[in-house]
Amino acid sequence: KAGVTQTPRYLIKTRGQQVTLSCSPISGHRSVSWYQQTPGQGLQFLFEYFSETQRNKGNFPGRFSGRQFSNSRSEMNVSTLELGDSALYLCASSLLFSEQETQYFGPGTRLLVL
Amino acid sequence: TQLLEQSPQFLSIQEGENLTVYCNSSSVFSSLQWYRQEPGEGPVLLVTVVTGGEVKKLKRLTFQFGDARKDSSLHITAAQPGDTGLYLCAGSGNSNSGYALNFGKGTSLLVTP
Protein backbone atom coordinates (compact mmCIF):
# COMPACT_ATOMS: atom_id res chain seq x y z
CA LYS A 1 0.00 0.00 0.00
CA ALA A 2 1.14 3.51 -0.69
CA GLY A 3 1.81 5.59 2.37
CA VAL A 4 0.38 8.95 3.34
CA THR A 5 1.23 11.56 0.76
CA GLN A 6 1.33 15.29 1.28
CA THR A 7 1.58 18.06 -1.27
CA PRO A 8 3.36 20.30 -1.73
CA ARG A 9 6.49 19.27 0.18
CA TYR A 10 7.83 22.79 0.43
CA LEU A 11 6.11 26.16 0.30
CA ILE A 12 7.19 29.76 0.70
CA LYS A 13 4.58 32.43 1.38
CA THR A 14 4.54 35.99 2.65
CA ARG A 15 2.70 37.40 5.63
CA GLY A 16 -0.99 37.98 5.01
CA GLN A 17 -1.31 35.37 2.29
CA GLN A 18 -3.25 32.18 2.66
CA VAL A 19 -2.15 28.62 1.95
CA THR A 20 -3.81 25.26 1.31
CA LEU A 21 -2.06 21.99 2.05
CA SER A 22 -3.22 18.60 0.83
CA CYS A 23 -3.08 15.13 2.35
CA SER A 24 -3.97 11.79 0.80
CA PRO A 25 -4.37 9.07 3.43
CA ILE A 26 -3.50 5.42 3.11
CA SER A 27 -6.12 3.64 1.06
CA GLY A 28 -8.98 2.54 3.30
CA HIS A 29 -8.12 4.90 6.12
CA ARG A 30 -10.98 7.17 7.08
CA SER A 31 -9.44 9.32 9.79
CA VAL A 32 -7.05 12.13 8.97
CA SER A 33 -5.31 14.24 11.60
CA TRP A 34 -3.16 17.31 11.16
CA TYR A 35 -0.24 18.38 13.35
CA GLN A 36 2.06 21.39 13.39
CA GLN A 37 5.71 20.81 14.26
CA THR A 38 8.02 23.66 15.28
CA PRO A 39 11.38 23.59 17.08
CA GLY A 40 9.96 25.53 20.00
CA GLN A 41 6.65 23.78 20.56
CA GLY A 42 7.25 20.37 19.05
CA LEU A 43 4.31 18.54 17.51
CA GLN A 44 0.92 20.00 18.29
CA PHE A 45 -2.46 18.63 17.29
CA LEU A 46 -4.51 20.83 14.95
CA PHE A 47 -7.65 18.83 14.13
CA GLU A 48 -8.99 15.46 13.05
CA TYR A 49 -11.51 14.53 10.41
CA PHE A 50 -13.51 11.36 10.01
CA SER A 51 -16.08 10.78 7.28
CA GLU A 52 -15.94 14.42 6.23
CA THR A 53 -16.67 15.67 9.77
CA GLN A 54 -14.31 17.44 12.13
CA ARG A 55 -14.45 15.41 15.34
CA ASN A 56 -11.63 16.85 17.38
CA LYS A 57 -9.85 20.20 17.39
CA GLY A 58 -6.69 21.46 19.04
CA ASN A 59 -6.01 24.86 20.50
CA PHE A 60 -5.29 26.85 17.36
CA PRO A 61 -6.89 30.09 16.13
CA GLY A 62 -9.69 30.12 13.62
CA ARG A 63 -7.23 31.01 10.84
CA PHE A 64 -6.49 27.31 10.74
CA SER A 65 -9.23 25.28 9.11
CA GLY A 66 -9.61 22.05 7.26
CA ARG A 67 -11.93 19.78 5.44
CA GLN A 68 -12.20 16.21 4.29
CA PHE A 69 -13.63 14.93 1.06
CA SER A 70 -15.71 11.83 0.41
CA ASN A 71 -12.60 9.93 -0.71
CA SER A 72 -10.99 10.73 2.69
CA ARG A 73 -8.47 13.13 1.19
CA SER A 74 -8.05 16.17 3.37
CA GLU A 75 -6.95 19.75 3.02
CA MET A 76 -5.97 22.30 5.60
CA ASN A 77 -6.03 26.02 5.05
CA VAL A 78 -4.25 28.77 6.89
CA SER A 79 -5.46 32.29 6.21
CA THR A 80 -3.72 35.58 6.93
CA LEU A 81 -0.36 33.92 7.41
CA GLU A 82 1.91 35.07 10.23
CA LEU A 83 5.65 34.56 10.62
CA GLY A 84 4.97 32.17 13.47
CA ASP A 85 3.08 29.86 11.15
CA SER A 86 6.38 28.73 9.65
CA ALA A 87 6.49 25.05 10.51
CA LEU A 88 6.36 21.48 9.30
CA TYR A 89 2.73 20.47 8.86
CA LEU A 90 2.18 16.76 9.24
CA CYS A 91 -0.80 14.72 8.26
CA ALA A 92 -1.53 11.32 9.78
CA SER A 93 -4.11 8.75 8.80
CA SER A 94 -5.65 5.79 10.57
CA LEU A 95 -8.51 3.42 9.96
CA LEU A 96 -10.57 4.96 12.70
CA PHE A 97 -9.50 7.38 15.42
CA SER A 98 -9.12 5.60 18.71
CA GLU A 99 -6.55 4.91 21.39
CA GLN A 100 -5.57 1.60 19.84
CA GLU A 101 -5.26 2.82 16.28
CA THR A 102 -1.84 3.45 14.86
CA GLN A 103 -1.51 6.79 13.13
CA TYR A 104 0.67 6.76 10.03
CA PHE A 105 2.39 10.03 9.24
CA GLY A 106 3.18 11.56 5.90
CA PRO A 107 6.49 13.31 5.18
CA GLY A 108 4.99 16.73 5.88
CA THR A 109 4.79 20.06 4.14
CA ARG A 110 7.42 22.55 5.20
CA LEU A 111 5.95 26.05 5.15
CA LEU A 112 8.12 29.13 5.36
CA VAL A 113 6.40 32.47 5.90
CA LEU A 114 8.47 35.55 5.04
CA THR B 1 1.14 23.49 27.88
CA GLN B 2 3.33 20.49 27.20
CA LEU B 3 1.80 17.45 28.84
CA LEU B 4 4.82 15.26 28.18
CA GLU B 5 8.36 16.25 29.11
CA GLN B 6 11.24 14.44 27.44
CA SER B 7 14.82 14.32 28.64
CA PRO B 8 17.47 14.79 27.64
CA GLN B 9 16.68 17.18 24.83
CA PHE B 10 19.91 16.37 22.99
CA LEU B 11 22.21 13.38 23.22
CA SER B 12 25.46 12.75 21.36
CA ILE B 13 27.14 9.41 21.93
CA GLN B 14 29.58 7.07 20.25
CA GLU B 15 28.70 3.84 18.57
CA GLY B 16 28.43 0.98 21.03
CA GLU B 17 27.29 3.04 24.00
CA ASN B 18 24.01 2.53 25.84
CA LEU B 19 21.50 5.29 26.46
CA THR B 20 18.14 5.95 28.08
CA VAL B 21 15.56 8.56 27.10
CA TYR B 22 12.80 9.57 29.50
CA CYS B 23 9.25 10.73 28.96
CA ASN B 24 7.40 12.10 31.98
CA SER B 25 3.97 13.52 32.65
CA SER B 26 1.74 14.46 35.52
CA SER B 27 -1.21 13.12 33.52
CA VAL B 28 -2.34 9.55 33.08
CA PHE B 29 -2.53 8.20 29.56
CA SER B 30 -4.37 5.17 28.27
CA SER B 31 -1.50 4.41 25.95
CA LEU B 32 1.88 5.81 25.12
CA GLN B 33 3.69 5.60 21.83
CA TRP B 34 7.30 6.09 20.80
CA TYR B 35 8.18 7.41 17.37
CA ARG B 36 11.43 8.07 15.54
CA GLN B 37 11.63 10.89 13.06
CA GLU B 38 14.43 11.39 10.56
CA PRO B 39 15.14 14.68 8.79
CA GLY B 40 12.66 15.43 6.04
CA GLU B 41 10.32 12.66 7.08
CA GLY B 42 7.30 12.20 9.28
CA PRO B 43 7.45 10.28 12.57
CA VAL B 44 7.45 6.49 12.31
CA LEU B 45 5.86 4.45 15.08
CA LEU B 46 8.25 2.21 17.02
CA VAL B 47 6.01 0.83 19.74
CA THR B 48 2.78 1.34 21.67
CA VAL B 49 2.54 0.50 25.37
CA VAL B 50 -0.83 0.30 27.07
CA THR B 51 -0.44 -1.53 30.39
CA GLY B 52 1.19 0.00 33.48
CA GLY B 53 4.55 -1.67 34.07
CA GLU B 54 4.64 -3.07 30.55
CA VAL B 55 8.04 -3.72 28.97
CA LYS B 56 8.46 -4.21 25.23
CA LYS B 57 11.59 -5.04 23.32
CA LEU B 58 12.34 -4.24 19.72
CA LYS B 59 15.78 -5.64 18.88
CA ARG B 60 18.19 -3.36 20.79
CA LEU B 61 15.43 -1.03 21.98
CA THR B 62 13.61 -1.60 25.28
CA PHE B 63 10.49 0.40 26.12
CA GLN B 64 8.92 0.60 29.54
CA PHE B 65 5.60 2.12 30.65
CA GLY B 66 5.46 3.30 34.24
CA ASP B 67 3.18 1.54 36.72
CA ALA B 68 1.01 4.64 37.02
CA ARG B 69 0.92 5.13 33.22
CA LYS B 70 2.36 8.62 33.56
CA ASP B 71 5.90 8.02 32.37
CA SER B 72 7.93 5.91 30.01
CA SER B 73 11.51 5.22 29.08
CA LEU B 74 13.36 4.06 26.00
CA HIS B 75 16.67 2.27 26.43
CA ILE B 76 18.96 1.59 23.49
CA THR B 77 21.72 -0.96 23.88
CA ALA B 78 24.90 -0.72 21.82
CA ALA B 79 23.74 2.29 19.80
CA GLN B 80 24.54 2.38 16.10
CA PRO B 81 24.76 5.34 13.69
CA GLY B 82 21.49 4.15 12.15
CA ASP B 83 19.77 4.96 15.47
CA THR B 84 20.37 8.67 14.87
CA GLY B 85 17.15 10.65 14.79
CA LEU B 86 14.53 12.48 16.82
CA TYR B 87 12.78 10.23 19.33
CA LEU B 88 9.30 11.36 20.27
CA CYS B 89 6.95 10.05 22.89
CA ALA B 90 3.21 10.62 22.53
CA GLY B 91 0.36 9.89 24.87
CA SER B 92 -3.25 9.34 23.96
CA GLY B 93 -6.46 8.87 25.87
CA ASN B 94 -5.84 11.75 28.24
CA SER B 95 -9.16 13.08 29.48
CA ASN B 96 -8.42 16.57 28.15
CA SER B 97 -7.43 15.59 24.64
CA GLY B 98 -9.47 12.56 23.76
CA TYR B 99 -7.67 10.43 21.24
CA ALA B 100 -5.41 13.17 19.86
CA LEU B 101 -1.75 12.44 20.37
CA ASN B 102 0.04 14.65 22.89
CA PHE B 103 3.69 14.74 21.91
CA GLY B 104 6.78 15.53 23.91
CA LYS B 105 9.27 17.87 22.25
CA GLY B 106 11.58 14.98 21.52
CA THR B 107 15.12 13.81 22.17
CA SER B 108 17.53 14.42 19.33
CA LEU B 109 20.04 11.54 19.25
CA LEU B 110 23.30 11.56 17.35
CA VAL B 111 25.37 8.38 17.24
CA THR B 112 28.83 8.81 15.78
CA PRO B 113 30.99 5.95 14.45
The shortest CB-CB distance from B101 to any of A45, A100, A108 is to A45
Spell B35-49 as b/e; 16+ CB within 10 A means b: bbbeeeebbebbbbb
Residues of B in contact with A107 (CB under 8 A): 40-42
The shortest CB-CB distance from A42 to any of B97, B98, B105 is to B105
What stretches in chain B show pLDDT beneath 70? Answer: 1-2, 93-99
**A80 to chain B, closest Cα gap in Å:** 25
pLDDT in tens, A56-113: 899 999 999 999 999 999 999 999 999 999 999 999 998 876 666 788 999 999 999 9
pLDDT in tens, B36-62: 999 889 999 999 998 899 999 999 999
**Secondary structure class of B27 (helix, strand, coil):** coil
**A113 to chain B, closest Cα gap in Å:** 18
